[in-house]
Amino acid sequence: MKFGHDFKQSLASQGFPPHWVAQAIPYGQLKKCLKKVQRELQELGLDAETLKALLDSDTHSPVALNYSLNASSNSTLVRPKLTVFIHLHDGNIVDASLTPTTRQFFEKISSGAAVSHSDDEKDSATADNTADKRTDNATDTTTPVAPQTEASHHDEERYERIELPLVFDSVFFDMLLSDVSNLDALQTTEQNHLQEEVKELGKQVSQVSRPTRFSKSDMDRWRRIFELYLDAEIFFATHEREHGARSSQKALKQLQWFQGEVNKQELVSSFKLPESRTAFSKFLELNLDLLKHLQFQELNVLAISKILKKFDKRTALGVSRALPAAINSRRLLSDHVSKAVCARISDELVSIIPQINDYLCPICYSLAYQPVRLDCQHVFCIRCIIKIQRRKEESCPLCRAPVVMNASIDNLDAELEKFMKKYFMKEVKEKQRANEIERGIEEFGPGYTRSECSVM
């Protein structure tokens, strides 16, 4: 009662586009249908309590039930199947635990179905493990007690296996899965739309962040923005403690942190090109859209889990576990679109501007300038290679290949050096200064500083 109301209110108040709201899970309709499912089962004498007892009962009990959900190969349809196994003695069920209505029902179906559901048919039924198991047990227990061919009609032991037709159960799952399919379609459309936007934005950002000496560029600011964006891990966490997809609530918090840092560091206000400002607004908008989408999906996934839990409470059929297992459970997750779009953001947007982390020397953790590419293809800065050569260490610190002593001036990667000068001008200058000081200390002792150098 309460959730249905909250769900409706959330859909109406969170600023979702009307065509999204139209595709939301129709919780109220599903609840109505669930009532019919419940009524149908009750008419069979199967209330939740009886169902639970019969589903839990072991293979020796006179009556047992098995419930399964079978999905079509593309997971768009699910067929629920409720099978009853009845152990008959003299054509009667003796089970004191059954309520009169339930007993009446089973007696009715077992007598009515006795002709069409023969023991032969039962033996050939191999549809699921439970059926097999029960068939085996049936043979084990019946054979010694009452050899079936010899048994007189007055002392007969028989197992019946009967499938119960459940009309509204099927209707419920048809409705639910068609809603899930509609949501999937909506997701795909939104995903394509957002990915198009990422592509457009990528073009704009590469325009305004071209590394150039002669005209204005916002490369440094965009690099800082993307660094902060990666640090924020808005939709996904990569560090160990909270690895994986974020909830929309956490994503909102991270997005606010990102925006706050960008403001604090005055990255937007110091843009040199007005186009950068436009592109940044678009970038924020894109993230907000993605967040909105995550919120919408979360709400729907919650509605599905609520209605399935209600289903289980009223019928004890265990669908909240069986359904995700039967259909492709990815379809019941909320982070599907944000995952795809975030991958696109990092591939087509963030990667436009090389990040310093990808060009660090693995020994000294500063820019690997001037880059020496060893024969094993690992890259280090020239200072670090000189140092390990002096120590006569032969193997590459990363892969242990004996390539260090072979390295010469020919191993300097000129292309990469040019690239670093272009994209990391500031870091290259810093590195050059640091190298100079290091060489000075080697030559003149630990008292060496750069200012002394200029005095000399």
Cα–Cα nearest to 122, from 132, 108, 109, 112? 132
Of 114 and 360, nearer to Zn ion (C-beta) is 360
437 binds Zn ion per the rule CB under 5 A? no
Among 384, 412, 425, 428, binds Zn ion (CB under 5 A): 384
**52: contact with Zn ion by CB under 5 A:** no
Among 113, 302, 356, 376, binds Zn ion (CB under 5 A): 376
First to last CA, the chain: 85
* Interaction of residue 12 with Zn ion, rule CB under 5 A: no
Give the gyration radius of the chain's Cα atoms: 35
CB of 428 to Zn ion, least distance (A): 14
Least distance CB 426 / Zn ion (angstroms): 18
Kindly state whether residue 398 participates in binding Zn ion, applying the rule CB under 5 A: yes
C-beta of residue 385 within 8 angstroms of C-beta of residue 369: no
Site membership for Zn ion, residue 416 (CB under 5 A): no
Residue 71 pairs in a beta bridge with 78
One-letter amino acid identity for 73? S
Q: Quote the tokens at residue 184.
A: 């999937």
# residues contacting Zn ion (CB under 5 A): 10
Nearer to Zn ion, 398 or 425 (CB): 398
Name the burial class of residue 29, with classes exposed (0-12), middle (13-18) and buried (19+) by CB atoms within 10 angstroms of its CB: middle
The DSSP letter of residue 246 is: P
CA dist., res. 454 & res. 456, Å (int):
5
Closest to 199 (Cα-Cα) out of 359, 345, 340: 345
Q: Tokens 């379609």 belong to which residue?
A: 185
378 binds Zn ion (CB under 5 A): yes
Q: In the bound complex, what is the minimum distance in angstroms from residue 394's beta carbon to Zn ion?
A: 12
Q: Using CB under 5 A, which residues numbered 332 to 361 contact Zn ion?
A: 361
Cβ atoms of residues 204 and 277 within 8 Å: no
HSE, side-chain direction, 13 A CA sphere, residue 148: 14
Which part of the chain contacts Zn ion (CB under 5 A), choosing from 73-81, 257-265, 308-316, 391-399? Answer: 391-399
Q: Which of 364, 416, 425, 437 binds Zn ion (CB under 5 A)?
A: 364
Closest to Zn ion by CB, 255 or 381: 381
Does the footprint of Zn ion cover residue 113 (CB under 5 A)?
A: no
Among positions 33, 69, 71, 381, the unique one binding Zn ion when judged by CB under 5 A: 381
Footprint of Zn ion on this chain (CB under 5 A)? 361, 363-364, 376, 378, 381, 384, 396, 398-399
